[in-house]
Amino acid sequence: MPNFCAAPNCTRKSTQSDLAFFRFPRDPARCQKWVENCRRADLEDKTPDQLNKHYRLCAKHFETSMICRTSPYRTVLRDNAIPTIFDLTSHLNNPHSRHRKRIKGLSEDEIRTLKQKKIDETSEQEQRHKETNNSSVQNPSAEEGGDER
């Protein structure tokens, strides 16, 4: 049975390439780290034992410094190796759309503030209008003064 890489957006199989595949570590803390870095939420409720038995990551997800090639036929990971290289583009889309929604929410707030500003402006204009009215009211009196002459 071919080994499939558990990483998202990685379609490598052990039969397709000569890439090394690494089992998830049995150590719960380290296994947790692997699952976290994979962003595979569906693996989070699996036990390290299950993961170790059924899931593997290909060597593409490890920095070369994490991999020790002891011989052409044997590739092992360092004891504390953690996969860090993932193509998470499809996973990044979700936070992006969430980000967009958040911007939309902000713009709605902005619209509200803009509306509030408009109200303030119109009330200011109204006040100015009143002032011009007042001055126009004052003008006839000035004209009246002129009439008096």
Determine, following the binding rule CB under 5 A, whether residue 35 of this chain makes contact with Zn ion.
Answer: no
Site string for Zn ion, 55-74 (x = CB under 5 A): ---x-x--------------
Nearer to Zn ion, 58 or 136 (CB): 58
Instruction: From 7-15, 35-43, 97-105, 130-138, give the range in contact with Zn ion by CB under 5 A.
Output: 7-15
Torsional sign, CA 61, 63, 68, 72: positive
Site string for Zn ion, 96-135 (x = CB under 5 A): ----------------------------------------
Q: Is 7 in the site for Zn ion (CB under 5 A)?
A: yes
Q: What's the distance, CA 49 to chain centroid?
A: 31
Token representation of residue 74: 């044997």
Residue 10 burial by CB count (10 A; 0-12/13-18/19+): exposed, middle or buried? middle
Spatial contact of 7 and 58, defined as CB atoms under 8 Å apart: yes
**Chosen residue from 5, 31, 35, 38 binding Zn ion by CB under 5 A:** 5
β-sheet bridge partners, residue 74:
71
Residues of this chain that interact with Zn ion (CB under 5 A) are 5, 7, 10, 12, 58, 60
